Amino acid sequence: MLLMGPLTGYFRVTRKVFVNPEDARAHGDKDEETSKKYLRIDPDVERVRRCHQNDLENIVPFPCPHQGLEMSEVFSSEVFLAYSTYSTVVLLKMLLMGPLTGYFRVTRKAFVSAEDAWAHGATDEESKKQLMRTDPYVERVRRCHRNDLENIVPFVGIGLLYALSGPDLSTAVMHFRIFAASRIFHSIAYLVPLPQPSRGLSWIVGMGVTFSMVYRVLKAGVHL
């Protein structure tokens, strides 16, 4: 599941298919008008995204404690407490993206459901159609939320396995802190938005942390 994110990025870059204007400008013509030709939909990119979505809907982590550790020892360890703290931080950040999406839908009058349009000012079919539209900033927040789902959910699952594998406290805390900081900065870079490659670099840092934990879990031989 974790590899589907980089695979999506690979197809976007190689096929010059983007959804964010700053990405199009970073990978093509800097001119505002000509860069719009890169803002399009590609069937193969969408296929990879659907595969990723299916992974998110079906893959469930099955954490197993490290051999020789009692569960009471695991849950009271400093590593697990650090994991719990930083997982809560990034999950809370992800959780706030839902209300933020709703806020922009209401303030920008951009809805996808007819009942929402009726509830927020539509008086007839014509005014309802005007409110049922796509807003660029609402879609930006939704993409940011989706990116959180694609990266934070694997972190929570893999981070738990990593915490249960008996890592050094300072090393574990470093992993958790860097990931949390990278995801917070990623959201800021996405929503402001900041010029690329600021968002891309923060994504790479977070992905690198997760893969580092994967390597350490596999190296520790947890239920291999």
Of all residues in the chain, what percent carry a pLDDT higher than 70?
A: 85
Q: Give, in degrees to the nearest 5, the angle at Cα 86 between 83 and 90.
A: 130
Transcribe the chain into DSSP letters: -TTHHHHHHHHHHHHT-BSSHHHHHHTS-SSTTGGGGGB---HHHHHHHHHHHHHHHH------PPTT--HHHHHHSHHHHHHHHHHHHHHHHHHHHHHHHHHHHHHTT--SSHHHHHHTT--SHHHHHHHS---HHHHHHHHHHHHHHHHHHHHHHHHHHHHHT---HHHHHHHHHHHHHHHHHHHHHHHTTPPTTHHHHHHHHHHHHHHHHHHHHHHHTTT-
Domain covering 1-59, topology: Four Helix Bundle (Hemerythrin (Met), subunit A) (1.20.120)
Residue 85 CA to residue 204 CA, distance in Å, equals 22
Structural domain boundaries in the chain: 1-59, 65-220
pLDDT at 57: 65
Mean per-residue pLDDT of the chain: 84
In CATH terms, are 1-59 and 65-220 the same topology? yes
Any idea how long the chain is?
224
**Average pLDDT in the 49-72 region?**
60
Task: Using only the alpha carbons of the chain, give its radius of gyration.
Answer: 20
pLDDT at 78: 92
| CA proximity to 20, closest of 188, 184, 191, 185 | 191
Residue 113 — pLDDT band, cuts 50, 70, 90? confident
Which CATH entry fits the domain spanning 65-220: 1.20.120.550, 3.40.50.1700, 3.30.70.1450, 1.25.40.20?
1.20.120.550
Q: Would the pTM count as exceeding 0.85?
A: no
Which is more confidently placed, 200 or 66?
200
Q: What pLDDT, in 10s, does the model give residues 213-224?
A: 999 999 887 555
**Average pLDDT in the 38-59 region?**
76
